[in-house]
């Protein structure tokens, strides 16, 4: 049997150019020798013992080199010797496996940590998520009773090798570092569901789980009205202030959860999204096939979208087209701007009404970039009147008109957004909670003002919703102290929050009409879009005070 010297390339295994065939054969021979030497005499025969086996094994495997080619030659009795060696090796292997099995039987095997198994045990992947807490209506707001919740996330690549406390202090700013340290020491913040020391360094595929006492931000109590429903699709009119799906400080106070908990509409597939403060048409697939079909139409720009907004100033006559590219400045806080480095973007605008110093404008985005309408209106110099982000001097004296941000770099712009307006509140994460003096007041104390109760009743009865179709239990219409839970380590349990004004929960941008291949949906226009200046100024009065 002849083997070339470079028969097998093992560069990917050892970083070597070729295999040293001679050493492989010699090593193999020595292994066989050792195996035979350790075998019982009865198994090898009366004439075979440890001393006689060694020369026989080596003699039966002669290796010669001729002109760079290694040759392996077996002696005439090699077959019987190899058979004996194989038999002995097999028995040794069986004995080893038997011993291993006995050890495993006596020592409980620790469950293997696998991503797939962890996913099944992570919170939020079962029907139980809807039963974590419930709603109550107070002062025209939908509120959530505090509840315990476990946040989970797998370690991101950039976190590997960093301390767990450092990562949570930097990446998750909902709590101060001291609270994360306490949680780690108490075993509430775990890695792969096991308690770790404070100085633990994260590894690839580590599953981080942090159990907290969660207080959600209130949203409007205005009901989600059904525009269209059938076996394939659900179309709703989303009120402003309600996020589409769980994010940040919102979970149960989201469209997805409200539809599931109160309307019994579950397993919906999100086809597109609206900003939290934007109202209007929102489409869901009721099966994966329909959702994919609708998503494909949107992706291929086969869907005509029409929005309406209220902007500052006298918007020009005629159709105004803006083709400026838009770049995401920060995904983390959700800020965009017009930039040559951005993606192609196209929006057409047309004034449809004038209300004093305000203009009602029809908007048709031909592309689907983040904050596209808001950024293009800022660039044109006609920002949405109550846009908390793109209608502010933080973008410079001209508020971003013509792309002028006052010479600020992207980093400076982000820094100013955070420092000037406390980004967690002002950028829409928890704007509504503006906390005041904390420890001596009871956060659970309900507002019992009769006027507020009247407002709540009129909010619910003003429009018939799907509640009457499904007979599903609605939110509590008054605060129920028996449903409140408290955590002695929860900072928010010691705080009392001011309820947001209704004006804080809306931005004058509404998704009005959507038209695709074989379908078309439309909502009623909100009151501020009627062109009546009184409706606009009434909605802005308290906000500007």
Any residues with CB less than 8 A from the CB of 432 and at least 6 apart, and which? Answer: 217, 218, 219, 241, 499, 500, 504, 505
Closest CA to 423 of 334, 507, 326: 334
Cα(431)–Cα(240) distance, rounded to whole angstroms? 13
Q: Which of the following is catalytic: 117, 131, 231, 275? A: 275
Q: What is the 3-state secondary structure (H, E, C) of 408-476?
A: CCHHHHHHHHHHHHCHHHHCCCCHHHCEECCCCCCCCCCCCCHHHHHHHHHHHHCCCCCHHHHCCCCCE
Q: Which residues, in sequence order, are CB contacts of 232 under 8 Å at separation 6+?
A: 285, 286, 287, 290
Computed over its alpha carbons, how large is the radius of gyration of the chain?
Answer: 35
Tell me if 214 sits within 8 A of 146, measured CB to CB. Answer: yes
Q: Helix-strand-coil percent breakdown of the chain, rounded to 5?
A: 35, 25, 40
Of the candidates 312, 320, 330, 314, the residue with the CA atom closest to the CA atom of residue 392: 312
End-to-end Cα, the chain, rounded Å: 95
430 classed as catalytic? no
SS3 category, 200: coil
Residue 74's DSSP bridge partners are 61
Residue position matching structure tokens 């709603």:
135
> Among positive and negative, which fits the CA dihedral 468, 473, 475, 481?
positive
- As a residue count, the chain comes to 545
Could you tell me which of 493, 457, 496 has the C-alpha nearest to residue 478? 457
- Beta-bridged to residue 64, according to DSSP, are 71
**For the purposes of burial, counting CB atoms within 10 Å of the CB of 169, is it exposed (0-12), middle (13-18) or buried (19 or more)?**
middle
Contacts of residues 225-230 at CB distance under 8 Å and 24 or more positions apart, as own/partner, are 225/463, 225/465, 226/465, 226/466, 227/281, 227/521, 227/522, 227/523, 228/521, 229/466, 230/286
What is the distance between the alpha carbons of residues 363 and 373, in angstroms, rounded to a whole number? 7
Instruction: Give the residue among 128, 205, 196, 122 at the shortest CA–CA distance from 163.
Output: 196
Q: Are 84 and 128 in contact (CB under 8 A)?
A: no
Containing 63, the helix (H) or strand (E) segment is: strand 61-66
Q: Which residues are known to be catalytic?
A: 275
């Amino acid at each position: 049997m002849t083997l070339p010297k470079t028969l097998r390339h093992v560069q990917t295994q050892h970083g070597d150019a070729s295999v040293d065939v001679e050493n492989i054969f010699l090593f193999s021979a020595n292994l066989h020798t050792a195996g035979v030497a350790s075998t019982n005499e009865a198994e090898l025969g009366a004439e075979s013992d440890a001393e006689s086996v060694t020369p026989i094994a080596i003699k039966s495997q002669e290796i010669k080199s001729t002109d760079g080619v290694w040759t392996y030659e077996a002696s005439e009795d090699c077959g019987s010797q190899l058979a004996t060696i194989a038999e002995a090796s097999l028995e040794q292997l069986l004995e080893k496996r038997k011993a291993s099995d006995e050890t495993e039987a006596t020592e409980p095997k620790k469950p293997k940590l696998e991503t797939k198994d962890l996913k099944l045990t992570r919170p939020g992947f079962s029907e139980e998520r809807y039963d974590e807490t419930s709603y109550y209506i107070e002062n025209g707001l939908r509120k959530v009773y505090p509840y315990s919740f476990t946040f989970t996330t797998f370690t991101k690549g950039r976190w590997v090798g960093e301390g767990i406390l450092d990562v949570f202090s930097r990446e998750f700013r909902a709590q101060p570092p001291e609270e994360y340290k306490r949680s780690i020491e108490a075993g509430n913040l775990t890695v792969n569901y096991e308690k770790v020391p404070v100085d633990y360094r994260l590894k690839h595929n580590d599953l981080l789980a942090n159990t907290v006492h969660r207080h959600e931000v209130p949203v409007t109590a205005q009901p989600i009205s059904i525009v269209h429903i059938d076996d394939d699709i659900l179309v709703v009119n989303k009120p402003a202030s309600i996020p589409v799906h769980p994010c940040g400080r919102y979970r149960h106070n989201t469209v997805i959860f409200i539809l599931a908990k109160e309307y019994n509409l579950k397993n919906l597939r999100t086809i597109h999204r609206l900003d939290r403060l934007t109202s209007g048409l929102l489409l869901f697939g009721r099966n994966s096939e329909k959702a994919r079909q609708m998503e494909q139409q949107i992706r291929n720009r086969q869907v005509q979208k029409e929005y309406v907004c209220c902007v500052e100033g006298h918007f020009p006559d005629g159709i105004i087209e803006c083709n400026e590219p838009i770049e995401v400045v920060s995904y983390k806080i959700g800020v965009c701007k017009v930039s040559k480095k951005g993606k192609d973007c196209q929006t057409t605008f047309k004034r449809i009404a004038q209300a004093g110093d305000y203009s009602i404008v029809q908007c048709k985005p031909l592309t689907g970039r983040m904050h596209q309408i808001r950024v293009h209106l800022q660039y044109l110099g006609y920002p949405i009147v109550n846009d908390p982000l793109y209608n502010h001097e933080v973008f410079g004296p001209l508020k971003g008109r013509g792309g002028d941000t006052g010479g600020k770099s992207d980093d400076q712009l982000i820094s100013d957004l955070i420092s000037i307006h406390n980004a967690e509140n002002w950028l829409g994460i928890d704007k509504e909670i503006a906390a005041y003096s904390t420890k001596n007041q009871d956060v659970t104390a309900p507002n019992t003002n009769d006027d507020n109760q009247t407002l709540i009743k009129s909010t619910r009865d003003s429009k018939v919703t799907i509640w009457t179709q499904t007979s599903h239990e609605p939110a509590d219409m008054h605060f129920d102290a028996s449903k409140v839970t408290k955590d002695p380590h929860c900072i928010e349990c010691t705080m009392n929050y001011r309820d947001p004004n209704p004006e804080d929960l809306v931005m004058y941008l509404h998704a009005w009409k959507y038209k695709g291949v074989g379908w078309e949906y439309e909502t009623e226009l909100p009151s501020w879009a009627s062109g009546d200046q009184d409706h606009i100024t009434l909605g802005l009065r308290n906000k500007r005070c």
